[in-house]
Structure 1
Amino acid sequence: MEQLRLHVTDLAHLLPELSLVATAIILSLLDLILPNRVNRSLIGWLSLVGVAISAIFVILQLNPSEDIQLLNLSYRVDDFSNLLKLFILTGTGFVILMSLGFVKEKDIPHVGEYYYFYLPAALGAMIMSSSGDLITLYVGLELLSITSYLLVAMKKRDHQSNEGAFKYLVMGGISSAIILYGMSFLYGMVGSSNLAQIGAALPSLIPAYEPLLYVAFFMLLAGFGFKIAAAPFHSWAPDVYQGAHTPVTAFLAVVSKAAGFAILFRVFYLLFGFSSFESSSLQADVFLAISVMAAIAMVAGNFIALKQTNMKRLLAYSGIANAGYLLVPIGTYFSATHTANFSEFIFYLIAYLFMNIGAFAVLMIIEQAEGHTELKGFSGLYYRAPLTALAMVLIVLSLAGLPVSGGFFGKLYIILGTMQTHQYWLGALMILTSVASLYYYFNVVRQMFMRIDYEPVEVKIPVPLGITVWLCALVGLALGFIPHVILRGIESIFVLTTDFLMK
């Protein structure tokens, strides 16, 4: 029991998480104390401060001088988790900033709760990225999931929101049960919930338990596939994205998806990537299955998006396709000539954050002006708000993966990685599906510049939304001019043997 004790000195390593907990508790009490006449955007600004403080603590922990493993190796503070935590906090901060001045009490009765609920959701995602144990991982997963269900259901008077929340709750519960069932197989065979111990023990279990190992893997893959909205486990995403408040949709599309990928990367590489399966094809089959799921997601997401007329549903299917692109560096595995999987993955994840948050921010501007999220709302945007239309063009360039943009180099690095590992079919499929995506992305541009039969509705741009749009557009463009600098910076921080492997 001594090993499971958390010492006072260990709390310093948990300051990013503890600061979010403290902020959420303080804001919940403040929301109760403040009179109703006080604008609840104050809670939003204070939530943003809490996220910024947490991010500062994460930055101070980058490049630790030694391995930091807490609670009997169940919680790990390394640069793999630190980089993902920065991503999670950045995405959460943008979502809260977008909400300021946009979220009204007539849409969400409890605006204060809306703001500080993002904090436990981000905390759950951070716990997932640092987990070295199945139990800790599941606690983080459920913390993120439960708060996400509540955020989706906050538009109580909207029937579409209620339907999406119900579907999300039911299918989310089923996927969590599938994950837990897969975990129970691993625990039953090994007698431990620690990822490092399970990974070390798996090769010796092959002769007696190989069929059960396949069952456990496919259950975990199916459950995690739901969490990242990758086809064929994506059916919930379009309805939930369309029903939820637009900032909540952005949170699900970026932060929640990133947390799911943190699990995928950590679990499957630790369990199957660095274990020696000399007498079995299990390792090859695991990464082939991930590559096949990536291919299905790319094809399904891009081709179903072609016929969408609602922008939220279009971005949902775009997110499914991007889940496929992000699965590729996980599925290609390592080779003697290619070890940059994580760098490629995190670079594209960064580009994905800015291009998607930017797209949702522009959609929020259109929604506020038009009262709906249909694609036709973008008609004539260039003539009504030329600067916003220009920013959207830069965002679309990155979404479509065209030079020179962060999305282009993100896809390019992943494609080059597939070539180095001789996964030519996967690289070719990435190129073909990216070309197909040009149709629906540039349909947005066509609406903004070539449609003149639009209603002359005034487009008002709240300052927080305007800042978000242009920050995302410019950062996405900058990523295309200095991709090597960003990639080199990631590689200088993250070292596979010290920042990922667990002993």
Structure 2
Amino acid sequence: MPSLVQSVDWTALTPVVVPAALAVAVLVADLFLPPARKALLGWVTAAGLLAAGLTLIPLRDGHRGTFCQTPGASCSYAADHFTLVIQVLVLGGALLTALLSLATGTTDGTGEPPSGEYWFLLLSSAAGGALLPASRDLITLIVALEVTTLPAFALVGLRRGDRLASEAALKFFLSSVTATAVSLLGISFVYAATGTVNLSEVATALAHTPGQLDHLAKVGAALTLVGFAFKLAAAPFHFWVPDTYVGAPLPVAAYLSVVGKAAGFSGLILVTVIAFRPYHDVWGPALGVLAALTMTVGNVGALRQRPDAERGAVRLLAWSSIGQAGYLLVPMAAAASARSPAHEIGATVAYALMYGVVNLGAFAVAALVTRGAPAGRLDDYRGLYAARPLSALALAFFLLCLAGLPPGVVGLFAKVVVFSSAVGAQHGWLAVIMAVNVVIALAYYLRWTALLFTRPGQGAPAIPAQSPAAAASAAPGAGAAASAAVAGTPFALGAAIALTAAAGLVLSGAPQIVLRYAQGALL
């Protein structure tokens, strides 16, 4: 009989404990701080997320587990390479979201700093996102998924008096709750068939499940996957994404596009590659179909966005994120037929890191442009290079990375790795569909990039210039975009753009480091 007394490895738990404890501290501090000092809560949040990220450094060299039934086996929490890479993505995404929030304000649309409740919700969701990739049983997995998602509902609708935000939050909530209910039903079926919730033990039990219990377990596995497909925004579970991103405050949309997606695909990897490995001949083809459908729906939706549509830039990024989710699913489909899926899982993790960095960078530049052009049209980016050359170059780099074109080497490398995983697994049909979708995506990414260097026409919306001097030195004929003389970039927003651009350049210079580290993950 296993001992009821368990040792706890607090070092392995620190990436989760730090944001969780800080969330409570921030909420309590908000009660006592005067309104003029509440902006400090945002900087404390950013500093705490950075500290949580630094606690990953002592864990980088080995596998550590805690909450184990027996020492070294059947652990409910595991800090391996897979966990650490996803935690870097989650905590880094939350940190950049905090910087964007400090620069834009999100509570009421007036530019005021977010309230203490906002920082509490962001930190709580980040704690859940950091817990999810470390989860090694179905109960911990579903709890972590809900801790990640539930605060996000409130973050989407926290802007008071905004009908669009309230509608987006309600749509997000109802869709997610339905998907969670389906997943819980599936987990109950799996537990009834196997008698365990530990992922490794579930796999062992499924390999020897007799007759009717096998049918019950297969139904449970299918239902369980539905919830994670929803979090990943895989088609046909993607319908909530465009309206939610458009209605949410821009930093929250950025957070959902990266951290929400990281939660979805990490959970999907854990339940398929570990728990449901005996059913690989079922979920492998299913994920392949989902990948093809998701990337096609996302890219076609992004291609249809008009330059003059309000909030068209965020809506395009929303559809683009759906297409990128399809690319993430390709290596996971290939992993089903691999004897050791380390390469395929490494490809998914490496692609997720690339996508997270450059997508957050694109949202950061969008936040900058939205300061002077609240409608958020794609036309608002026309002539950005004349007014803000560094920001325009950064956005062009991010878009080219997403498209997989030089000088965005990291984007090209990631797409080649994903493509090779499909070819290597004899999924030629999926590789062809991916190639067609990459060409479709080039159209809208390059169209947006071209706007940055196009002289604005008569009556083009204003893009804020860096300073009066920068506006005065803008190219002749650049119109309102070049002549607007407004305040410079807030420090937090400039830091977010600089950090994402620097990370993108580093990954472009040495993309193989990420892949090599990611391939040591999980198995």
- TM-score by structure 2 length? 0.88
Aligned to 2:358: 355
Distance in 2 between the 1:338 and 1:260 partners?
19
Which whole-Å deviations, capped at 9, do the CAs of 1:96-134 have from their partners, x for residues lacking one?
A: 112212116542785222123211101111221111111
Offset of residue 79 of structure 1: 2.0
Distance in 2, matches of 1:211 and 1:28, equals: 47
Give 2:40's match in structure 1, choosing from 39, 42, 57. Answer: 42
Deviation at 1:269, TM superposition (A): 0.8
- Are residue 122 (structure 1) and residue 126 (structure 2) matched? yes
Deviations 1:9-51 (A, max 9, x none): 533332222222221121111111101222x221111111111
> Structure 2 matches for 1:157-172, cutoff 5 A?
157-172=161-176
Residue type at the aligned position of 1:350:
L
Moved more, 443-452 or 369-378: 443-452
Q: How do residues 169-318 of structure 1 correspond to structure 2 at under 5 angstroms?
A: 169-273=173-277, 275=278, 282-309=279-306, 310-318=312-320
Note closer, same or farther for the CA distance 1:3–1:364 as it changes in structure 2 (3 Å cut): farther
| 1:395 paired residue among 398, 412, 427 | 398
Q: 2:46–2:98: 8 Å Cα contact kept in structure 1? A: yes
Instruction: Give the deviation of 1:88 after TM superposition.
Output: 0.8
Deviations 1:251-306 (A, max 9, x none): 10001110111101111111232x4xxxxxx4212111011101100111001111
CA shift, 1:422, in A, is 1.2
**1:331-346 mapped onto 2 (5 Å cutoff):** 331-333=333-335, 335=338, 339-346=342-349
Give 1:441 deviation, angstroms: 1.0
Q: Name the residue aligned to 1:278.
A: none
Mapped to 2, the partners of 1:30 and 1:316 lie a distance apart of 35
Instruction: Provide the residue aligned with 2:476 in structure 1.
Output: none
1:104–1:207 distance in 2 versus 1, CA, 3 Å? closer
Question: SS of the residue aligned with 1:63?
Answer: coil
User: Are 2:431 and 1:427 aligned?
Assistant: yes
Q: Distance in 1 between matches of 2:242 and 2:165?
A: 12
Cα shift at 1:338: 7.0
**Does the C-alpha gap of structure 1 residues 136 and 388 become closer, same or farther in structure 2, counting only changes over 3 Å?**
same
Given that 1:384 and 1:456 are in contact with CA atoms closer than 8 Å, whether structure 2 keeps it comes out as no
The answer for the alignment partner of 2:50 in structure 1 is 52
- Please show how residues 85-104 of structure 1 align to structure 2 within 5 Å: 85-103=87-105
Confirm or deny that 1:75 pairs with 2:77: yes
Aligned to 1:75, the other structure's residue is in SS state strand
How far 1:407 sits from its partner (Å)?
A: 1.1
- One-letter amino acid of the structure 1 residue matched with residue 245 of structure 2: Y
Structure 2 counterpart of 1:378: 381
In structure 2, stretches of 5+ residues that fail to align are: 70-74, 307-311, 466-487
Offset at 1:176? 0.6
1:279 aligned partner: none
**Residues 179 and 220 of structure 1 are in contact (CA less than 8 Å); yes or no, is this contact kept in structure 2?**
yes
Query: Could you tell me whether the CA contact under 8 Å between 1:3 and 1:71 is conserved in 2?
Result: no
When residues 171 and 455 of structure 1 are mapped into structure 2, their CA distance, relative to the original with a 3 A threshold, is closer
Q: CA deviation at 1:74?
A: 1.9
Deviations 1:278-337 (A, max 9, x none): xxxx42121110111011001110011111131111111111111110111111015369
For 1:255 and 1:84, the matched residues in 2 are separated by 9
The answer as to 2:512 corresponding to 1:484 is yes
Contact 1:404/1:481 (8 A) holds in 2? no
* Distance in 2 between residues matched to 1:288 and 1:318, nearest whole Å: 24
Identity %: 33
Higher mean C-alpha displacement, 222-231 vs 482-491: 482-491
SS in structure 2 at match of 1:100: helix
Q: How far is 1:213 from its partner?
A: 3.0
State the AA in 2 paired with 1:375.
L
Distance change >3 Å, CA 104–CA 150, structure 1 → 2: closer
Partner of 1:16: 15
Cα gap change, 1:475 to 1:137, in 2 (>3 Å): same
- C-alpha contact (below 8 Å) 2:81/2:517 kept by paired residues: no
Structure 2 residue aligned with 1:320: 322
Residue 416 of structure 2: aligned partner:
412
Q: Which one of the candidate residues 487, 491, 495 is aligned to 1:463?
A: 491
Instruction: Indicate whether 1:62 and 2:24 are aligned.
Output: no
Partner residue, 2:477: none
- Residue ranges of structure 1 left out of the alignment (5+ in a row): 276-281
Question: Helix, strand or coil: the match of 1:232?
Answer: coil
- Tell me, in whole angstroms, the C-alpha distance in 2 between the residues paired with 1:109 and 1:467: 17
- Cα distance in 1 between the residues matched to 2:54 and 2:392: 33
Cα distance change, pair 381–417 in 1 and its aligned pair in 2 (3 A): same
How far did 1:446 drift? 2.6
Deviation digits for residues 333-378 of structure 1, max 9, x if unmatched? Answer: 1536974112211211111011100110011011111112221221
Report the Cα offset of residue 225 of structure 1: 1.1
Preserved contact between residue 407 and residue 476 of structure 1 (Cα < 8 Å) = no
* CA deviation map 1:400-426 (0-9, x unaligned): 111342111101011111111111111
Contact kept, 8 Å, 1:297 with 1:323, in 2: the verdict is yes
* 1:204 aligned counterpart, secondary structure: coil
1:29–1:442 Cα change, 3 Å? same
